[in-house]
Structure 1
């Protein structure tokens, strides 16, 4: 048998369990309408929450920077990859987040996977939410610290684990998403921050899906919860509401200096293109100048959740622009996704390992550019075709 023949059996097993993922047709333009196999579909899968991914202002800034600095960077930031545009974006992110300093990473995944191991090692204890993003999970695994998983959004369980394990640890770190990417629900940040203070634990908040959307100024759920800017290590991404790509962390200058030395995904990764950083600067300007984008987005999400629930659909504890339609078995989620595609909508099924077995769902991801007509058409398709998937 050839060394890779076992892969065919693995793929067959995934297909049999309705867990096989196939690469979709390329989507050249990220808008609310995409084209699949020559057919336009209304897109309810994108994380482009503020509708900036195709904004011409961002494209113009990227083109200008590309002309001035070239396409690639050629090296990691510590060697020669960090440009004046990157430095300006870091300054602007720190200013936006009311922090002393910021550090850019190639992606949000790279930020989490590099920062957690830089903060915790053998002899330390990490306390992590059961439904954290895969990047935080992998960061915990890479850290070699003892990781304690608390029940999803259960501050009382977190308190029990802290009381038992934090006193024996050299250092303690609490790590949680603020807005959970599959269920669309929000972490109890006030209670978690209070526990971090009580047990002298570092607090790491992944604001990937909240930055630009929540808070009076769009800084995320930490701002909405009135958590002091220096009370948490805040990680974000520019690939969601900011419409670009790349990750970042904000916090005290000493933290940024330390991570620039110890976060391996920063030290050993080529810097992101300067054109991407230039577009992100413009996106920050839009977040500040056009708050109606996030208020409209959240109002649309609240209305859609209410109407889905009234029609009998299960949407869990969603309180955001991410709305799950809970189905259960993977095969049923795949079937529902296919029926919606036939009706003119792109809503991929979310299956294990993205969610636990038996908790497959369709994830509706709203943007500021979804119109009332699009929402109405989706509701009509769900109501007309899928009575069997209702609660």
Structure 2
């Protein structure tokens, strides 16, 4: 029976009381999360965002977003199949495909929606998905929604993938993985995983969310770096919200794949199209990346400097993972960094395995020498003498 509340007040229902016990459990485990709103400007040095190339605040990128609003308005007005596709969408898709060495591209409202859309459109009942255990949550959820039989392999375990593919009874199969693992920024064994898929007549999907703008020739991604771009049996997804400093997602592949998605991908058909400002900003950011291919080198160089100061392994991407172990200690370290004027991420279970709670730093190409000196000094002070467990420095 619900409690009667005065007019204008939220009414509590007994049926929802389990939420209180659930919250107490999260608090006791050190897993309670809270929102930390940003102000428009701050003296805090940002090492937590995914704006890897610093293009989200670039003057030309912001101007392009404003110009797009002036031309098209603030919203896309409908789904892509009705009124939500503008000439700017088509232009962005063409340029993304060309840049990443693909035949065609299709832009979605988010990277999450892109992964949900392509996986569920390619796999269903009567098919198999081999899912890398290090894949992003969007790929995990896509597998669950697909209704396909799903085999989850240990992160990067190519032999497990080969066995699952070889022993399948299903005619169709799809292998899904991140190209760069999102939690610690390590590179997936992408070439070997692709060869396992190809040898067993399966498609493969590589999520380049953390590869675009950071790996490959001029930031074209890890698929490009390995010389695998343009293979029809290797599908690429990416987000526009990290290196390109905007918002949205994209699927890249053959023209017939994109035509299939236009007809069948539910997160494309039934979702409102990406808003004009995000389209304009992503297009302008891509132009900056093309014009300044050294941005990818800059972000990796800055990541290496941060990792050295933190006593972490040499990073393979913009992500620097500093394992603390205990979630409460990780939160305390994050808060101490913040109090000293440096913002970093903090990953705890279920985002990472139990016992591997960590600080997650993200380098940016536009960090100045002064920024790096300040960040490194703060890291050394906060981490000095801290009991970081047996896993410290790994990842």
Q: Give the alignment's TM-score, normalised by structure 2.
A: 0.91
Structure 1 unmatched runs, 5+: 30-34
From the superposition, tell whether residues 164 and 345 of structure 1 become closer, same or farther in structure 2 (CA, over 3 Å). Answer: same
Confirm or deny: 8 A CA contact 1:302 1:320 kept in the other structure: no
After superposition, the C-alpha distances for 1:158-205 in whole angstroms (9 at most, x for unaligned) are 22222222xx11201010000111111001111111112100110101
Counterpart for residue 9 of structure 2: none
Could you tell me how far apart the structure 2 residues matched to 1:99 and 1:329 are? 43
The one of 65, 70, 89 equivalent to 1:67 is 70
Secondary structure at the aligned position of 1:348 is classed as strand
Instruction: Tell me if 1:299 matches 2:301.
Output: yes
Counterpart for residue 254 of structure 2: 252
Counterpart for residue 32 of structure 1: none
Instruction: Tell me if 1:93 matches 2:96.
Output: yes
Secondary structure at the aligned position of 2:316 is classed as coil
Secondary structure at the aligned position of 2:156 is classed as coil
Could you tell me how far apart the structure 1 residues matched to 2:61 and 2:21 are? 45
Deviates further, 376-385 or 63-72: 376-385
Confirm or deny: 8 A CA contact 2:103 2:230 kept in the other structure: no
From the superposition, tell whether residues 182 and 285 of structure 1 become closer, same or farther in structure 2 (CA, over 3 Å). Answer: same
Could you tell me how far apart the structure 1 residues matched to 2:275 and 2:34 are? 29
Counterpart for residue 280 of structure 2: 278
Could you tell me how far apart the structure 1 residues matched to 2:308 and 2:166 are? 39
After superposition, the C-alpha distances for 1:253-278 in whole angstroms (9 at most, x for unaligned) are 11101111111111000111122111
Secondary structure at the aligned position of 1:240 is classed as coil
Within-5 A mapping of 1:368-387: 368-386=365-383, 387=385
After superposition, the C-alpha distances for 1:140-170 in whole angstroms (9 at most, x for unaligned) are 00001111111111222222222222xx112
Q: CA deviation at 1:90?
A: 1.2
Structure 2 unmatched runs, 5+: 2-12
Confirm or deny: 8 A CA contact 1:50 1:242 kept in the other structure: yes
Could you tell me how far apart the structure 1 residues matched to 2:65 and 2:378 are? 38
Counterpart for residue 143 of structure 1: 146
Confirm or deny: 8 A CA contact 2:309 2:377 kept in the other structure: no
Confirm or deny: 8 A CA contact 2:303 2:315 kept in the other structure: no
From the superposition, tell whether residues 156 and 306 of structure 1 become closer, same or farther in structure 2 (CA, over 3 Å). Answer: farther
How many residue pairs match? The answer is: 375
Could you tell me how far apart the structure 1 residues matched to 2:175 and 2:39 are? 37
Counterpart for residue 234 of structure 1: 236
